[in-house]
Amino acid sequence: MSHSAFTHDLFDDDAASDYTPRAARARKAPPRRKLTEYSEGEQVLGSVTMTYQPARYEEVWLKSSLRDFFTQQYITDVLAQVKGGKEASVYRCAAAPHMGVEWLAAKVYRPRMFRNLRNDAMYREGRAILTSAGSAAKKTDHRLMRAIGKKTEFGMQASHTSWLMYEFVTLQTLFAAGANVPQPIAAGENAILMGYRGDGSRAAPTLSEITLDDDEAPRLFDEVLRNIALLLGIGYIHGDLSAYNILYWEGEVTLIDFPQVTAAAENPNAAFILRRDITRVCDYFAHYGVRRDPAQLTAELWREYVGEEDFAQLP
């Protein structure tokens, strides 16, 4: 999606409000807290010059989302937008000198109020709510559970935080287990900061954007499978795995985009979701002569990591 389409889309509600009669506009005014947050972002970062020049509406959101990464001295500049999308935009940032790398990637989630959470009910089943500390909220926290069910402001914020923290915590666990994922650095209210794949002129392409050499395909396929197994080993399934969420850089693959991870043992759709992930990966690699049976691979992995019985229920 082009940059301008992203900014327009991102703030379409704002744009629409320009045409709303004054009385209606007053009723639709966002809660005060948010305005304060934004203006604090302006104050703290007003003096920061970003090499990347965001559009006016994108700027406030971007700055408030990345503010903590600047003040905690992880990054010193935003250099470019890598990709703007429906759910999130990713930016290449200059890492602070002590970070030991030149760049970091900031994934900034689309503002909660303008975002349709990816049809997420299927993934959330059997998944605890994660707090901003990355720990599971208690199911006995009735106030929280009720707020989420009723989609109150507080409940929506909690769902948003949980969605983002699943991505961050999964990256942490996978990275520690030796998976091919970006190194997670920090999580904020609307953004995560992680290792960047690519260089100063371009970010790593996704597998969907490139043509592999036939001779490297089998090794890369095995790598992807190794990562699927590592994730299953910690109890989760990616849930949106395909050539669109695997980066390729210098002969290596990197799996990305984890907010929808699915609990393998607790989610009744888990076997279906796992088979879908594996089928998409097999379909991609089949173009390069890697012929593997996705149903059989799914069954093997399921038996090894989750258990035989549940798999029999796969439709």
To ligand ATP, the closest distance from the beta carbon of 194 in angstroms equals 5
Among 202, 249, 243, which residue's Cα sits nearest to residue 81?
202
Nearest to 90 by CA among 75, 80, 99: 80
**Binding track, positions 179-218, relative to ligand ATP; x by CB under 6 A:** ---x-----------xxxxx----xx-x------------
CA distance 11 to 56: 10
Helices (H), the chain: 3-10, 12-17, 22-28, 32-45, 56-71, 121-124, 142-150, 153-176, 217-233, 270-286, 294-305, 308-311
Cβ nearer to Mg ion, comparing 86 with 303:
86
Q: Which of 161, 245, 260, 298 binds Mg ion (CB under 5 A)?
A: 245
Task: Fill in the per-residue mask, 101 to 140: x = in contact with ligand ATP (CB under 6 A), - = not in contact.
Answer: ----x-x---------------------------------
Partner whose footprint covers residue 198, from Mg ion, ligand ATP, none (CB < 5 to 8 Å by kind): ligand ATP
**Cα gap 255→79, rounded to integer Å:** 23
Candidate residues 257, 259, 284, 305; the one interacting with Mg ion per rule CB under 5 A: 257
d(C-alpha 4, C-alpha 232), whole Å: 39
If binding is defined by CB under 6 A, does position 302 make contact with ligand ATP? no
Q: Lay out the site mask for ligand ATP across 233-272 (x = CB under 6 A, - = otherwise).
A: ------------x----------xx---------------
Query: Which tokens in the block code for residue 260?
Result: 């929808």
